[in-house]
């Protein structure tokens, strides 16, 4: 009997099936800072799915993850139909030389989801491409049903309304998303850098934007057409001239005869930027030649050229080398001038904060030496013009006269008096006003006494801050379960479209944990997209 009772006791003490201890249970969300793969942990069905959509790329993943699960690009290879094996028969499209030279705009059109100029755009074709890439992303990478989870879209603020309407109409009409939240790419890039205020410089494909953000609010945004698209076209003309043996410097009117994929590989691997203007020409005599795949036959031949020549397209396109400032339109300013004008448009307090927190994002930010060159050129503009928007020769002459008067007045004070007394005056006993410390007002002194342990924020200097990107920022913000400024409900959008949005930019933002649901809002707004 004792043996039987001990056997029964051992059977009841041991669990009947493997289990996880309660203290080791993990939450559904993957840690934002986790280095494990997104599929290594369980996921709640309530986790939002985040899409970052650009002109050429789409990134997708779940909230709480540090990196997206997949990155999809738009191009002819991704638009092939079933039983189209040309990609395996003759290689990837655009890798080799073209059979016939193409215009620069036609050369890049197949690799874009949309263009900035929508007058000749086929919105129906754009909607079909959006539907296809979303369906493939859900079926191949996310492995979940479309429409069952919350959807968050990270979009640039300068997005045309017809394009935004086509995107939302496709998602709401072909899937049953209850609501879609829109987040600004610039604000999410600042959040991914741990910043509340920043100047986000996005060197994107179609345009370069500089957005001043103060306390998570976009204060001012300026744009320039000098972007990666123009750089790709200029590099394509340069390589086409290299293939034909042309030594002509001006290649703006030439067609492109090299493949797009080959040119993109050259830009990503060999394009660079010199730290100072004109330094690449000075280094051309001392640098050795480098070998790159030949534009005529990139798979079997190589060609040699000076390394400094690969910096010329970057200098010409992004920095407007050789073009005077007064010859540039407002929408084609160089990148340093764009950053300077954006800082100049900010209020003084916001300017001092943002200029010390400059964030570079986009494909162009990966070019070696470009970010430091932009900061150096912006500092030169500040030293030359200060923070005054007034320019002109009359102002320069006035400043020169003021400098001459200042010098002459200093000379008069240093010369002896006219009565013949040559005894030098004892100026050492007098305090130098220029060396005296500025007096602090009583308000600032009181704030400093109260916040002795609080570190003083960095302001008034040019400084770069690294960021994880817009997608990571959207993942972090979404994991906090806070409702966004723009949350579009399905039924309201299908009834009125974008016309149902109000122009009130100060909508209340209730917390999801407070019990308020999406249906509690009687109206919705497009905020920055209005």
- Angle 213-215-217 from CA coordinates, rounded to 5°: 50
Q: Is 149 exposed, middle or buried (0-12, 13-18, 19+ CB in 10 A)?
A: buried
Buried b (16+ CB within 10 A) or exposed e, 306-320: bbbbbbbbbbbbbbb
Specify the pLDDT at position 461.
Answer: 93
**What residues pair up with 475 in beta bridges, in sequence order?**
none
- Extract the tokens encoding 478: 């979404």
**Where residue 342 falls among pLDDT bands split at 50, 70, 90?**
very high
Specify the pLDDT at position 506.
Answer: 52
**What residues pair up with 204 in beta bridges, in sequence order?**
none
Question: Mean pLDDT throughout 127-139?
Answer: 94
Q: What is the C-alpha to C-alpha distance for residues 130 and 166, in angstroms, rounded to an integer? A: 9
**Where residue 36 falls among pLDDT bands split at 50, 70, 90?**
very low
Spatial contact of 95 and 88, defined as CB atoms under 8 Å apart: no
Q: What is the pLDDT of residues 87-118, one digit of tens each?
A: 666 555 567 788 788 899 999 998 999 888 88
The beta strand positions in 225-357, using DSSP E, are: 289-293, 302-306
**Where residue 529 falls among pLDDT bands split at 50, 70, 90?**
confident
Distances (CA, A) of 496 to 76, 151, 501: 35, 20, 8
Q: What is the C-alpha to C-alpha distance for residues 361 and 186, in angstroms, rounded to an integer? A: 9
Listed residue (474, 214, 467, 453) closest to 346, CA to CA? 214
Q: What is the C-alpha to C-alpha distance for residues 149 and 361, in angstroms, rounded to an integer? A: 29
Q: What is the C-alpha to C-alpha distance for residues 216 and 491, in angstroms, rounded to an integer? A: 29
Residue by residue, DSSP assigns 60-75 as EEETT-SS-SEEEE-S
Q: Is 107 exposed, middle or buried (0-12, 13-18, 19+ CB in 10 A)?
A: buried
Distances (CA, A) of 232 to 205, 258, 266: 9, 11, 10
pLDDT of 16 strictly over 60: no
Q: What is the pLDDT of residues 244-303, one digit of tens each?
A: 876 555 555 678 999 999 999 999 999 999 988 766 666 655 668 899 999 988 888 999
Specify the pLDDT at position 138.
Answer: 94
Specify the pLDDT at position 266.
Answer: 94
Task: List Cβ<8 Å contacts ≥24 apart for 189-192.
Answer: 189/359, 189/361, 189/467, 189/469, 189/470, 189/473, 190/216, 190/357, 190/359, 190/467, 190/473, 191/216, 191/473, 191/476, 191/477, 192/467, 192/468, 192/469, 192/470, 192/472, 192/473, 192/476
Higher pLDDT, 170 or 248: 170
Spatial contact of 212 and 220, defined as CB atoms under 8 Å apart: yes
Q: Which residue has tokens 């609501």?
A: 179
Lowest mean pLDDT among 48-52, 380-384, 450-454, 481-485: 450-454
Spatial contact of 162 and 529, defined as CB atoms under 8 Å apart: no
Name all domains of the chain by residue range, CATH numbers in brackets: 38-74+111-189+468-529 (3.30.420.40), 196-226+329-391+458-464 (3.30.420.40), 228-318 (3.90.640)
Specify the pLDDT at position 416.
Answer: 55
- Extract the tokens encoding 356: 């010390």
pLDDT of 146 strictly over 80: yes
Q: What is the pLDDT of residues 388-416, one digit of tens each?
A: 888 777 877 888 888 888 888 888 877 65
Distances (CA, A) of 458 to 36, 202, 351, 412, 443: 34, 23, 12, 41, 20
Residue by residue, DSSP assigns 488-500 as EEHHHHHHHGGGG
- Extract the tokens encoding 349: 């307090």
Specify the pLDDT at position 379.
Answer: 95
Spatial contact of 358 and 199, defined as CB atoms under 8 Å apart: yes
Query: 165-174, 277-286, 287-296, 321-330: which has the highest mean pLDDT?
Result: 165-174
3 state SS of 482 = strand
3 state SS of 30 = coil
């Amino acid at each position: 009997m004792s043996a039987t009772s001990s056997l029964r006791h051992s059977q009841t003490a041991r669990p009947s099936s493997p289990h996880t201890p309660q203290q080791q249970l993990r939450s559904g969300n993957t840690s934002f800072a986790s280095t494990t793969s997104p599929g290594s942990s369980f996921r709640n069905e309530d986790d939002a799915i985040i899409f970052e959509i650009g002109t050429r790329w789409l990134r997708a993943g779940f909230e709480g993850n540090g990196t997206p699960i997949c990155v999809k690009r738009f191009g002819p290879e991704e638009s092939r139909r079933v039983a189209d094996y040309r990609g395996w028969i003759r290689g990837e499209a655009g890798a080799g030389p073209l059979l016939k030279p193409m215009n620069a705009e036609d050369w890049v059109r197949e690799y874009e989801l949309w263009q900035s100029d929508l007058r000749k755009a086929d919105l129906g074709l754009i909607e079909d491409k959006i539907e296809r890439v979303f369906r493939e992303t859900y079926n191949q990478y996310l492995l979940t049903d479309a429409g069952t989870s919350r959807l968050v879209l990270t979009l640039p603020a300068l997005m045309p309304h017809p394009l935004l309407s086509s995107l939302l109409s496709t998602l709401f009409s072909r899937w049953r998303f209850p609501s879609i939240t829109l987040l600004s790419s610039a604000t999410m890039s600042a959040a991914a850098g741990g910043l509340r205020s920043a100047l986000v410089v996005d060197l994107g494909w179609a345009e370069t934007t500089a957005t001043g953000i103060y306390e998570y609010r976009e204060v001012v945004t300026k744009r320039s057409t000098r972007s990666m698209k123009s750089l790709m076209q200029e590099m394509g003309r340069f390589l086409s001239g290299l293939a034909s043996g042309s030594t002509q410097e001006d290649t703006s009117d030439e067609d492109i005869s090299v493949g797009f994929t080959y040119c993109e590989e050259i830009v990503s691997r060999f394009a660079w930027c010199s730290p100072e203007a004109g330094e690449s020409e000075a280094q051309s005599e001392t640098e050795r030649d480098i070998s790159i795949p030949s534009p005529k036959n990139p798979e079997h031949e190589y060609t040699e050229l000076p390394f400094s020549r690969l910096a010329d397209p970057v200098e010409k396109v992004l920095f407007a080398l050789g073009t005077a400032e007064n010859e540039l339109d407002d929408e084609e300013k160089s990148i340093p001038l764009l950053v300077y004008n954006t800082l100049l448009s900010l209020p003084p307090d916001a300017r001092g904060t943002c200029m010390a927190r400059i964030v570079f994002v986009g494909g162009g930010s990966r070019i070696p030496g470009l970010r430091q060159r932009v900061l150096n050129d912006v500092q030169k503009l500040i030293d030359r013009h200060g923070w005054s928007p007034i320019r002109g020769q009359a102002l320069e002459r006035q400043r020169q006269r003021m400098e001459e008067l200042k010098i002459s007045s200093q000379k008069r004070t240093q010369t002896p008096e006219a009565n013949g007394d040559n005894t030098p005056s004892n100026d050492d006993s007098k305090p130098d006003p220029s060396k005296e410390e500025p007096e602090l007002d009583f308000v600032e002194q009181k704030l400093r006494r109260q916040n002795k342990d609080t570190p003083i924020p960095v302001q008034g200097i040019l400084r770069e801050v690294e960021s994880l990107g817009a997608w990571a920022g959207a993942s972090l913000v979404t994991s906090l379960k806070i409702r966004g400024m723009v949350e579009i409900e399905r039924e309201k959008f299908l009834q009125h479209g974008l016309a149902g949005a109000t122009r009130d930019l100060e909508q209340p933002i209730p917390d999801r944990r407070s019990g308020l649901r999406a249906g509690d809002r009687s109206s919705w707004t497009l905020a920055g997209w209005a």
